[in-house]
Amino acid sequence: MELPSQIYTLISKAFQRPRVKRSTVIITLALVAIFASAIIMRIYPAKYGFYIHEFDPYFDYYATDYIVQSFNEKGILGMLDYFTWTDNMTWFPNGREVAATSQTGLQFTGAILYIIATSIFGLVISLYDFIVLFPVFIGAFTTIAMYLLVKRISSASAGLLAALVIAFSPPIIQRGALGWYKSEPLALFLVILGSYFFLTIYDEKTSRIGLVLRASVSGILLGIANTAWGGSMYFTAVFGALLFLTPFLKVDLRRTVYLGSVFVAFTLIFSAIFPRPGPAIISGPAGLAMLGGLLFAVIAYGIKNTVDSRIYFRSLVKAAFVFALIAMVIVSMGAVSSLSGRYQTVINPFLRSIDPLVESVAEHQTPTGADYLSSYFALLFIAGFGAVMMVRKRSIAAGYTLILALSAIYVSASFARLMIYSSIAFAMLAGIGLHELTSAIVRPPTVSSVKKKFRLNETRSEVKFAYGIFMIVIISFPVAAPTRINWLETADTPVSIASSTTNFRASIPDWREALSWMRYNTPPFQPDGKQTVFAAWWDYGYWIAVMGNRTSLADNATINSTRISQLGRMFMSEESQSMEILKQLKADYVVIYVVGQAFTQNGQQFLLLGTSGDESKKQWFIRIGGLDENLFLEEDAFTPTPYFWQNTFLGKMMPFSFAGYAEFGEQGLQFSEKTEYERGLRSLYIYDLKYPEDGSGPLRLAFMSSSLAEHRDGIFAGVIVYEIVK
């Protein structure tokens, strides 16, 4: 009789309604809402077209497709062909060694996930569509990783706010929205999740095997992040600084030494597994920072076990001083491989003006105070409170938070693209600050333990309510305000190719027309090795090679700065000199891109040039080409001089002639009788094609996109392709 009763008990327990805490339900629903919001914010540009974004992601897609095709043809071993692949469609005639010059970790991750999704789970989707959606979902999962990390550091409420910030942060959305199949989304997810696993190695109740496993996973994630994005080296250096700081914190130093060794080993091994960064990371600044931090922790552990506890701190300070002195001597002797110019510019912003190639990139511009206010607003002040709270603690989590946050804020001040670092910093600190501030305001009444006991009054209910409303308003304020630069407006930005790289929120098909024409109206790659070579400014090289399926001379990889300088001189030289350069480069076509606005007044159509095409990049052609800027530009360093239109190859390829000056007044654009340029005047042009389709010059018009070819009023974003007459 006892057996049936036991069975009945088991059955009743199996069908018993599970008991879930109310807080667990609320947190779960909040995370689901944040995850969904992150997807919505990142997929918003789809209303303009479902495309890969920007330039570099096109090559990452191209390389990922190569891996997938190799797998389909030869199986897993076929994927190894990637490491010996020289792509001859780019950087003609030398080509590009892909594995040594690419974000290999990103390309392999995308390929493997696609193979798993289609081959194992049966998902029916093209690789292109999969790649377009990849950053959307990786960005959404990053909010979950951020929640886990900040919850580990502070609390669940802090983690929720941090996750919410990551979901809506403009700098992160700008570099992680629909089609942004580039390094940052994947690397940030891996680094944040890896940081969470690293902090868990200090759990007291976890088994020894569990701790080793967590240290290994943390190192693997950070190592793969290094292969996916060069910017992940920053996080490697952060962990190096954290390991160096651990002897001064309230942590188990023995655990740091043993588990830290596992973490460092896996990080460096998995970073070195691919050609980039490769084994050089070990002798590079990031690798040495990590090894140096671990070595100092080992030294501190030895000191702790040999000296009296009363003089331990004094001995530790002396050891740190000697260690730092030795490190400076090693660096001064050149034993550490030097940083690239881009990384040096991040550390020392005053180097920016040395390299015009770095300075010419829009995402390398210095962020302003307005950028920080529009991106973070009240989070700036809440984060400050969170930093103060962290300073008062000496835990490993506090050390990690402060090192990461303070250094991230400094680094992000160098390049606009690096504001993703500051987004992580402010997300973490704001979450912590809000939790600490809220806990202080809504705390329950407590009893003091002094001689005369007294009760601390609890905050009144109406004050709590007002505080809650106030915090919701100021945190939500950047979502809808200011009007043109709020968080929602940031998400409402079309992918580059959908708007033809303009700043307009519209579908502009010109570049898609041009790339389609290249693909179907010019000779493809021939079996005998003959290629159709296109000369264009390096911005457009990836589009020409990947979507146009034709050979380009330069692209965003900037592998050969001499080639880019040569192209700058080609555009800005006289016709005969430019043709000689094109002959040397064995080019068959030249591509230019101009943006502006056409309008008709008194029966005559006039054109104003814009700020998105080659008309706005000519000053960089000049500077990168090493030419005299004063010869080509007026005193505003932007408006072309008559010499530009009469003598440069670019001036002749642009189908415009100077018509006069105009100025903006109360009644709009008004013609000016002035014949000499003055600040505030706008140049007006008329349509004038110098190299027509049936001409006999060195160039023949081969293609002109619709918005310019149809001569209609309004915005034009003209892609013009000239065939070189041979």
Q: Where are the beta strands (DSSP E) in 589-655?
A: 589-601, 604-609
* Per-residue model confidence as pLDDT tens digits over 38-51: 999 999 999 999 99
The single-letter code of the amino acid at 637 is A
Query: Given this model, what pLDDT does residue 362 score?
Result: 56
3-state SS class at 500? coil
- Asked if 42 and 178 count as a contact pair (C-beta separation under 8 A), the reply is yes
Q: Determine the Cα–Cα distance for residues 176 and 170; give it in Å rounded to an integer.
A: 10
Q: Determine the Cα–Cα distance for residues 392 and 383; give it in Å rounded to an integer.
A: 15
* Per-residue model confidence as pLDDT tens digits over 176-200: 999 999 999 999 999 999 999 999 9
Query: Given this model, what pLDDT does residue 497 score?
Result: 96
Q: Determine the Cα–Cα distance for residues 285 and 134; give it in Å rounded to an integer.
A: 31
- Asked if 191 and 235 count as a contact pair (C-beta separation under 8 A), the reply is yes
- Collect all residues with Cβ–Cβ distance below 8 Å to 133 and sequence separation of at least 6: 43, 178
% the chain with pLDDT above 70 = 90
* Per-residue model confidence as pLDDT tens digits over 671-720: 887 888 888 888 999 999 999 998 778 999 999 999 999 999 999 999 99
pLDDT exceeds 60 at position 449: no
- pLDDT confidence bin for 411, thresholds 50/70/90: confident
Count Cα neighbours of 547 within 13 Å in the Cβ-side half-sphere: 21
* Per-residue model confidence as pLDDT tens digits over 132-145: 999 999 999 999 99
- pLDDT confidence bin for 452, thresholds 50/70/90: very low
Count Cα neighbours of 364 within 13 Å in the Cβ-side half-sphere: 17
pLDDT exceeds 80 at position 344: no
Domain range summary for the chain, segments of one domain joined by +:
22-438, 510-724
Cα separation values, 198 from 148, 202, 259, 323, 387, Å: 12, 8, 9, 25, 21
Which of 90-94, 280-284, 512-516 has the weakest average pLDDT? 280-284
The single-letter code of the amino acid at 159 is G
Query: Given this model, what pLDDT does residue 103 score?
Result: 93
Q: Which residue has the higher pLDDT, 624 or 680?
A: 624
Q: Which residue has the higher pLDDT, 464 or 625?
A: 625
Q: Determine the Cα–Cα distance for residues 691 and 696; give it in Å rounded to an integer.
A: 8
- pLDDT confidence bin for 442, thresholds 50/70/90: confident
Q: Determine the Cα–Cα distance for residues 455 and 223; give it in Å rounded to an integer.
A: 53
How large is the C-alpha radius of gyration of the chain? Answer: 30
Which of 110-124, 329-343, 607-621, 672-686 has the weakest average pLDDT? 329-343
Judged on CB neighbours under 10 Å (0-12, 13-18, 19+), 160 is: buried
Strands 533-535 and 589-601: parallel
Query: Given this model, what pLDDT does residue 99 score?
Result: 95
3-state SS class at 657? strand
% the chain with pLDDT above 90 = 67
Q: Which residues pair with 714 in a beta bridge?
A: 598
Query: Given this model, what pLDDT does residue 1 score?
Result: 45
Across 476-501, average pLDDT = 84
Across 201-214, average pLDDT = 92
Across 60-84, average pLDDT = 97
- Mean residue pLDDT of the chain comes to 89
Q: Which residue has the higher pLDDT, 367 or 164?
A: 164
* Per-residue model confidence as pLDDT tens digits over 555-572: 999 899 999 999 999 999
* Residue 22 neighbours by CB distance under 10 Å: 7
